[in-house]
Amino acid sequence: MKGYLALGSNLGSPLANLKEARRLLGATPGITVIASSKLYTTKPYGYLAQADFLNAVLKIETSLTPQALLAACQKVEQTLLRKREIHWGPRSIDVDILWLADATSNTATLTVPHPELTKRSFVLIPLKDVYDLPVLLGQSLDYWIKKSGNQQDVKESNEAW
């Protein structure tokens, strides 16, 4: 099934962290990385007393269940030394499941589509680079980006990956 993962980092070397996360995800059995968005520098969301983030979205093909995909994403976070000390705080890597074409989840540990997906320009703008359907959750991506109201906090990075 087709899916989309959001990556974000603002600790250590964010570019190296995103590259390694993409490599690790692509090396995971049951996950194929089909496309990568451009990189975007974004202002922090929620907890503001931290460095800007480097964000991207991966388009994937996966044979994993949503829970197994979550476990794979969390394994990548653990490998890259993700610490969960402050909600929405600084991190070496964050890997979020945004949307899966043929599956939803609403459990204590995983909600798909991601419940904040349509509120975050730092996810929607890179998603637009790799998303290939005319609508997302009943509306165009441009509609959700405009509605998010924080698109000015997302700047295309000059970093290449």
Task: Kindly report the average pLDDT of the chain as a whole number.
Answer: 91
DSSP the chain: -EEEEEEEE-SS-HHHHHHHHHHHHHTSTTEEEEEE---EEE--SS--SSPPEEEEEEEEEE-S-HHHHHHHHHHHHHHTT----STT---S-EEEEEEETT--EESSS-EES-TTGGG-HHHHHHHHHH--SS-BTTB-HHHHHHHH--GGGEEE-S---
Which domains, and CATH codes, for the chain?
A: 2-156 (3.30.70.560)
pLDDT tens, position by position, 62-111: 999 999 999 999 999 999 876 766 666 688 899 999 999 978 788 888 88
What's the pLDDT score for residue 113?
85
d(Cα 156, Cα 100) in Å, to the nearest integer? 25
pTM of structure: 0.92
Sign of CA dihedral 96, 31, 111, 153: positive
